Structure 1
Amino acid sequence: MTKVLMTFPEGKFKVLTLSYDDGRNADRRLVEIMNSHGIRGTFHLNSGLFGSNDRIPQEDISSLYEGHEISAHTVNHPTIARCPKEQIVDEIMEDRKGLESIAGYTVRGLSYPNGSYNKLIKEMLPYMGIEYSRVTHSTGGFAIPDDWYEWRPTCHHKQNLIGVADNFLSLQKVQYLYMMYVWGHSYEFDNDNNWDVIEAFCERAGRQTDIWYATNIEIVDYFKAFQRLQFSASRSFVYNPSARPVWISANGKIVEIGGGSQARLV
């Protein structure tokens, strides 16, 4: 029978994503650095705070984050584990509405403001159209999360970012999938006077041929598309009901299964 393994697009086995919160003006410099090295990520924004406290004004949001993901962070950034359910719903749904009116696409991601969440909030999120949410507890590793509503990053950019990146870049065992996920706040680079850290990281980690550069929601969507693949019992062929293509390794050969198409594997 055919031995099937999931891969990332084009048969890659590593993915890199960045995630930055609050939409402060330092994002302008961060996005410029990321773009220059082909690195992509997700920016979690508070739609009720645009233009205040050094935050980017609403009229600049769409153009600044083009090519990246605009994601929710609640309207006003409360510690939501302390809020009643009605307020939690308002904070997330109104943030979605505000961001979607700017982005022009469905906002389906979240990062918990102040890292605040609990079991109840996680259970509520699917009913509000949220498909993932990032926490602040770092793993230090490169494993794929098993709970998209408690998505733990690899590291904050203050946590030996270059050393972690070197470990990630050195990974060569293609029998595994690896994810490096970096998070933080761009204003921290101003506060700590260390823009050289993210510049060195992006220069080192960017434009690598064996890495898929993706936003948070693209990663979630890709895994869900793989899980929807319909394999024959013998795994001799497979049908992809999703619109997006999915890549797999079939007996060591990389196979692309186009959206809405069937592929033979033997």
Structure 2
Amino acid sequence: MRIQYKLFPGGRSKAVTFSFDDGRSQDRLLVSKMNQYGLKGSFHLNSGLLGREGYIEAEEVKTLYRGHEVSAHTVDHPFLEISPPDQVAHEILEDRRALEGLVGYPVRGMSYPFGTYDDKVVSMLPALGIEYARTVNSHGQFDMPSDPLRWHPTCHHKQMVERTQAFIAHGDWFNRMSLLYIWGHSYEFDHDDNWELIDQVGELLMDNDTIWYATNAEIIAYKNALERLQFSVDRRLVYNPSALDVWISADEESIQVSAGQLLNLSKD
């Protein structure tokens, strides 16, 4: 039996996620617009900057980002690759601790301050409880991350209309999961006077039942659950040990494997 991991929840082959940094005051308008269009994203916050001029208040974090993901961005936004290891650990762990206290759930992802990192920093992340880390190295493609700790996005939001149009036109030619990953900073919409971009993309993406709208963490959790599936030698039996339902392609048929389920894929 031929098994392929090429489906998102509901048997969809496409997913969209957004990622915005710093927790600036313009996040209030951005989140409102995203909610209007049914979009989901991850907001990477510097806990040490909350409440400063131009930033959101700590007290509004839980309510403002409800339905989205709050993720780490370090306490004070330093260049991690030129910081001593104990400072790197402090910046990430204390940011996680502060944000978790605000939102009430584990914070397991981050984006790199200034988009900079090195192998030393990346190697530390699993021990600091980080499962994914977003870079600023846009590749323009619709690929799932091969290395979640060096997760390269599709594009910055300045290019998101063009890439969203291409994503929608993108069929299943490559017979695999397609992910549109857009990143940026909400204050840039003000600086560039181009808030219409999020409206244009929202209109393109809203109410499309062929697309899974997800946070960064949800994408990684689903990817991990897929990769934890256990198969018999002939691949006719599959066990899902995770707490998430997943979808697989079995001989080109979309199959749901529910959380905790042992499923016989044989049609005999």
TM-score, normalised on structure 1? 0.97
Matched residue SS, 2:158: coil
Amino acid across the alignment from 1:13: S
Q: Please list the CA deviations of residues 65-117 of structure 1 after superposition, one character each: whole Å capped at 9, or x if unmatched.
A: 00101000000111111111111110000000000001111000010001121
Structure 1 position 170 matched with structure 2 position 169 = yes
Query: What residue number does 2:128 align with?
Result: 128
Q: Please list the CA deviations of residues 188-245 of structure 1 after superposition, one character each: whole Å capped at 9, or x if unmatched.
A: 0011110001111111112211111110011111111011100111111200000111
- How far the C-alpha of 1:171 sits from its partner, in A, is 1.7
Superposed counterparts of 1:8-157, under 5 Å: 8-157=8-157
Query: What residue number does 1:180 align with?
Result: 180
Q: Please list the CA deviations of residues 124-147 of structure 1 after superposition, one character each: whole Å capped at 9, or x if unmatched.
A: 000000001000010011111211
Contact 1:4 1:248 in 2 (8 A): yes
User: Over aligned residues, Cα RMSD in angstroms?
Assistant: 0.9
Contact 1:8 1:212 in 2 (8 A): yes
Query: What residue number does 1:240 align with?
Result: 240
Moved over 4 A (4+): none
TM-score, normalised on structure 2? 0.96
Q: What CA distance in whole angstroms lies between the structure 2 residues aligned with 1:43 and 1:211?
A: 21
Contact 1:39 1:207 in 2 (8 A): no
Q: What CA distance in whole angstroms lies between the structure 2 residues aligned with 1:39 and 1:251?
A: 32
Matched residue SS, 1:158: helix
Aligned positions, number = 264
Q: What CA distance in whole angstroms lies between the structure 2 residues aligned with 1:140 and 1:171?
A: 13
Q: Point out where structure 2 has 5 or more consecutive residues left out of the alignment.
A: none
Matched residue SS, 1:183: strand
Q: What CA distance in whole angstroms lies between the structure 2 residues aligned with 1:33 and 1:145?
A: 27
Q: What CA distance in whole angstroms lies between the structure 2 residues aligned with 1:116 and 1:235?
A: 42
Matched residue SS, 1:181: strand
Amino acid across the alignment from 1:219: I
Amino acid across the alignment from 2:8: F
- How far the C-alpha of 1:46 sits from its partner, in A, is 0.6
Q: Please list the CA deviations of residues 149-194 of structure 1 after superposition, one character each: whole Å capped at 9, or x if unmatched.
A: 11000000112x2111111001221622111100000000011110
Q: What CA distance in whole angstroms lies between the structure 2 residues aligned with 1:9 and 1:234?
A: 25
Matched residue SS, 1:19: strand
Q: What CA distance in whole angstroms lies between the structure 2 residues aligned with 1:198 and 1:111?
A: 21
Query: What residue number does 2:193 align with?
Result: 193
- What's the % identity of the aligned pairs? 47
Query: What residue number does 2:262 align with?
Result: 262
